[in-house]
Each structure stands twice: as structure tokens, then as C-alpha cells.
């Protein structure tokens, strides 16, 4: 439950709530939807489009005068160091999205430790800035990975935004808190889950991804307004550079469902993003993490989840 407001922790004016805007920097062929048809060993032979797309995103943010956080793959940063510097020079936060988009729940703890260490070192070397935020590929931190938060805290991260607190066929941790929480008793590190909204008693994903492209913008506007005005909390929104690129190559041999998720609404995406950044107040995730640290709850897992962790 939220702590009652005191003079030290006043209720925020809903119109002034700073929402977290984020971009998961990966190329069009590095997404979960195509992982079974395009292997990592093929990545180096595919013509990259990420740099042009990131510059489009930077321009769109500049038009609206907003800053955001770019969770970047180490693999991408290594090949596009100039792009990394341009992101930092434009005033945005650089954070880590792991090295090559492997999901956390498929790692051992030692493999995860190595993956995040490697990605962070590459990004920090390119930009000359300190990385303090992390987002797991495909929101793959859940009840199966109790060691992931420990590893992030031990490596000195200030925040993670790696949990989707909804039920979904590829990811999701529906029992997790919907807003900022402290996963570890011994660390100030917080988790900022991607936004969900309540539709009656149901949690629905409302923080970006395929839902944002497929559904009318009015749904996202309603959901974020509800989170800001009724629940008085910031939204955490994400999208990918390939989503503003309707001209990207089509992978015809991917399953129909994957193609539907990846290609629907690409042409309308930039227009929707312009409305989104205009309608709400947005900023970098590190700032949102600082604000939310005051209100983060401790993670209390339901008994069923605790039993899962114990085995
Ligand atoms: Zn990703």
C-alpha cells in the first residue's frame, strides 16, 4: 500500500507528474519476434538501420523538447559508437539493455553477471558517462530470477525497469507490484515496472510495445491519464527505433503472429508518438527513479511465488 502523504511527501499535482520515456535501442532483426528465424550468427551480415532510426527518434524528441532514456544493447553500441555519443550529447540518458538481447530467465546468474558487465562497459566507454539503469530484454526478470536484482544491486545500478506486471504469452510477472518497488531489503535500488492500467479488475499492458501500435492512440491516452490522475503515479513508456521505420525489410518466413505484432501500425507510429509526447510530461528514467524512490514499496511476494523461489 502507498504510505499516506505527509508534508515531506505531498501528493503530486497530476498534471505535473513526470512520466518516464524510454527507447529500447535494438535493430529490426534483433527482436524476440524473429529470434527463431534470424540467428545471432547472422546479425553481422544484415544491413543495419538502427542508426538512422535513432536519429529520427532524437529529432522527434527535440521537436517536442523532451529528454528520454535509451536502453541500448551492448552489441549495438559496439558497432555504433558515434550514435551513442549523439544520444548523450542530445541530453538523453544512456542505460543498458544487456549485450545481445538474450532473456534473463535463460541465463545462469554468472552468465547474467557477465552479460550486464560487458554491455555496460561498452556503453560507458563510447559515451564517457556512467550507466545506472538497466532494462531486461523482453521484460525477462520475473519470479524465476530472484538473483537478477541481487546482481544488479551488487554491480551498483540505481534502478531497473525490467518487469511487465501483466500476463502475456512471452513475458510478464502478473503478481509483481504495478508501481516502483524495492526488490531487496538491503539495497536502495528500485524497479520501475512498465505501465499497466486497470480495466475493471484486470491489469492491461499500457506502456508501449505492440499494444501502442495496434490499438488506437485514444486507449494509451486514457490509460496514462488514469495512471497520472486517478493513481497519481508516473507512467513508464517504451518503444523501439524500428517502430518508426515503415520501410524496414519484411521477414516473410516468420510466423504470421510475429509478423502481425512487428509490422502493424508502423506507418502511424511517428504521428502517435508526437501526440503522446505532446499530451503528457515526459523525462529521463533516472529522474523518475529519483522521484519514485521516495514512494517505492518493499516487494512482498504472494505465497505461491515465494514457494516457486524456494525450489
Ligand atoms: Zn529489447
Give residue-wise pLDDT tens across range 244-280. Answer: 988 888 888 888 888 888 888 888 999 999 999 999 9
Alpha carbon of 202 to ligand 1 centroid (Å): 25
Taking all residues of the chain, what is their mean pLDDT, rounded to a whole number?
90
pLDDT at 307: 46
Residue 229 Cα to ligand 1 middle (Å): 29
306 C-alpha to ligand 1 centroid (Å): 28
Residues with CB under 5 A from ligand 1 (ion): 24, 26, 137
Beta strands in the chain (DSSP E): 19-25, 69-72, 93-96, 133-134, 159-160, 181-182, 190-191, 196-199, 202-205, 236-239, 282-283, 297-298
CA of 4 from ligand 1 middle (Å) equals 36
Taking the C-alpha atoms of residue 162 and residue 135, their distance in angstroms, rounded to an integer, is 5
Average pLDDT over residues 179-190: 96
The DSSP line for 66-119 is ---EEEE-HHHHHH-HHHHHHHHHTTPEEEE--SS---GGGS-HHHHHHHHHHH
Distance 2 CA to ligand 1 centre (A): 30
CB 125 within 8 A of CB 290: no
Alpha helices in 155-292 (DSSP H): 210-214, 217-225, 256-263, 266-279, 285-292
Q: 491489469: which residue's cell?
A: 203
* Straight-line distance from the first to the last Cα atom of the chain, in angstroms, rounded to the nearest whole number: 28
Q: Is the pLDDT of residue 15 over 70?
A: no
pTM, full prediction = 0.91
Reply yes or no on whether the pLDDT at 16 is more than 80.
Answer: yes
Other Cβ atoms closer than 10 A to 131: 24
**With 70 as the cut, is the pLDDT of residue 193 above it?**
yes
What is the distance between the alpha carbons of residues 32 and 40, in angstroms, rounded to a whole number? 12
Residue 241 C-alpha cell reads as 527505433
Rg of the Cα trace of the chain? Answer: 18
Residue with cell 515503415: 246
CA dist., res. 163 & res. 76, Å (int): 22
Q: 32-36, 42-46, 161-165 — which one is most confidently predicted on average?
A: 161-165
Q: Residue 137 C-alpha to ligand 1 middle, in angstroms?
A: 5
**CA of 13 relative to ligand 1 center, distance in Å:** 32
Q: Residues 67-119: pLDDT tens digits?
A: 999 999 999 999 999 999 999 999 999 999 999 999 999 999 999 999 999 99
Banded model confidence at residue 156, pLDDT cuts 50, 70, 90: very high
Distance 220 CA to ligand 1 centre (A): 20
Pairing of strands 202-205, 196-199: antiparallel
Ligand 1 mean position to 147 CA, how many Å? 21
Amino acid at each position: 500500500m502507498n504510505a499516506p502523504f505527509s508534508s515531506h511527501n505531498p501528493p503530486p499535482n497530476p498534471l505535473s507528474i513526470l512520466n518516464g520515456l524510454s527507447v529500447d535501442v535494438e535493430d529490426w532483426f534483433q527482436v524476440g519476434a524473429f529470434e527463431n528465424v534470424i540467428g545471432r550468427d547472422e546479425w553481422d551480415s544484415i544491413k543495419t538501420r538502427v542508426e538512422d532510426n535513432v536519429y529520427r527518434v532524437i529529432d522527434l524528441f527535440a521537436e517536442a523538447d523532451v529528454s528520454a532514456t535509451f536502453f541500448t544493447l551492448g552489441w549495438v553500441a559496439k558497432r555504433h559508437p558515434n550514435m551513442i555519443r549523439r544520444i548523450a550529447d542530445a541530453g538523453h540518458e544512456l542505460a543498458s539493455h544487456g549485450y545481445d538481447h538474450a532473456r534473463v530467465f535463460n541465463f545462469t546468474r554468472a552468465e547474467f553477471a557477465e552479460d550486464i558487465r560487458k554491455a555496460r562497459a561498452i556503453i560507458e566507454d563510447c559515451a564517457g558517462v556512467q550507466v545506472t539503469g538497466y532494462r531486461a530484454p523482453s521484460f525477462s526478470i520475473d519470479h524465476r530470477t530472484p538473483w537478477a536484482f541481487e546482481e544488479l544491486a551488487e554491480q551498483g545500478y540505481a534502478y531497473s525497469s525490467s518487469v511487465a506486471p501483466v500476463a502475456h504469452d512471452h513475458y510478464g510477472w502478473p503478481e509483481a507490484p504495478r508501481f516502483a518497488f524495492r526488490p531487496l531489503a538491503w539495497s536502495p535500488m528500485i524497479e520501475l515496472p512498465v505501465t499497466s492500467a486497470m480495466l475493471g479488475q484486470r491489469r492491461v499492458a499500457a506502456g508501449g510495445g505492440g499494444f501502442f501500435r495496434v490499438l488506437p492512440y485514444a486507449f494509451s491516452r486514457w490509460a496514462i491519464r488514469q495512471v497520472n490522475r486517478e493513481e497519481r503515479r508516473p507512467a513508464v513508456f517504451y518503444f523501439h527505433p524500428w517502430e518508426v521505420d515503415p520501410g524496414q525489410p519484411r521477414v516473410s518466413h516468420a510466423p504470421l503472429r510475429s509478423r502481425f505484432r512487428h509490422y502493424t501500425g508502423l506507418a502511424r507510429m511517428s504521428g502517435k508518438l508526437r501526440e503522446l509526447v505532446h499530451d503528457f510530461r515526459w523525462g529521463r528514467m533516472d529522474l523518475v527513479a529519483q522521484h519514485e524512490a521516495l514512494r517505492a514499496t518493499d516487494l512482498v511476494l504472494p505465497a505461491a511465488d515465494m514457494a516457486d523461489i524456494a525450489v
